[in-house]
Chains A and B, each alone.
Chain A
Amino acid sequence: MSLRVAQAATRIRPLAFRLPLQRRGYADPVSDKIKLTLALPHQSIYKSTDVVQVNIPAESGEMGVLANHVPSIEQLKPGLVEIIEESGGSKQFFLSGGFAIVQPGSQLSINAVEGFPLEDFSSDAVRSQITEAQKIAGGSGSEQDIAEAKIELEVLEGLQASLK
């Protein structure tokens, strides 16, 4: 009985040792693509799609994410996300703010409330809203109304700069 236990122990041990070591030999190919998931509450624009690079407007500054990026969580400013696809072409979406999460294994998940390609925006609508928001921000409304107008201004100015 005790012998069998000892045998089982020796058999299990090497396996447990080997697991955490994820060795890579010379011949193993390394994927240079990053799996991108870009999800809105009502739609997934990308679903674990292989792309080359993603540029995101993080609160800590603009950053480009390539394959094998160090895992991190970034809060996004309302701004432009640029995706460089496998074919070499690039796509741009304006996101209203959210989070980007880089996971181990070259996975990137971006979550936002709203996101649209630039051609869906109307620069006239942006311009008229800027004047409106400026009026509220400089007016005598409640502290919260002014704060909301300032958020709107920041988003609209970013949008206007992206549309040019």
Chain B
Amino acid sequence: MAFAWKASGLTYNRYLAVAARVVRRSLKEGERLKAERRGEMELKFAKWENGKQGENKSLAQANASSMAEGAGHGQGQ
């Protein structure tokens, strides 16, 4: 099966996250506020080299740029 989002470098994980986000935003006010908290992700990571911690990076941003790089190859990450 060919998926258009795959050609743009998006991963299946990202596809699911986008679909879930839009479902949460379509809820009625009360449910929406409760549900939208589940979509938040603020993970950060740093690479350690020679015993020293590197720069702190946001995982979401790193994923987005790796998906942009993967565009056209039909694969991300």
Contact = CB atoms under 8 A, between A and B. Distances in A.
A121 B1 CA distance: 30
A94 B23 contact: yes
A42, A120, A150: residue with the most chain B Cβ atoms closer than 10 Å = A120
- The interface size bin for chain A is 20 to 34
B15 A151 contact: yes
Contacts of A143: 8-9, 68, 71
B1, B9, B26, B38: residue with the most chain A Cβ atoms closer than 10 Å = B26
B28 A121 contact: yes
B8 A146 contact: yes
Contact of B23 (A41, A42, A78, A133): A78
Interface residues of B, number: 30
A63 to B, nearest CB: 15
Interface stretch (A31-39, A49-57, A84-92, A152-160): A152-160
A129 interface: yes
Nearest to A127: B26
Interface string A100-133: 0000000000000110100011100110010001
B29 A122 contact: yes
Interface string B50-77: 0000000000000010011001000000
A113 B17 contact: yes
Interface in A20-77: 41-42, 59
Given A97-B15, A144-B68, A114 B24 contact: yes
B12 to A, nearest CB: 9
Interface of B: 1, 4-5, 7-10, 14-20, 22-29, 31-32, 35, 38, 64, 67-68, 71
Given A116-B31, A125-B25, 11 more contacts: A78-B23, A97-B19, A98-B16, A114-B35, A116-B23, A116-B27, A143-B71, A144-B9, A151-B22, A155-B22, A155-B23
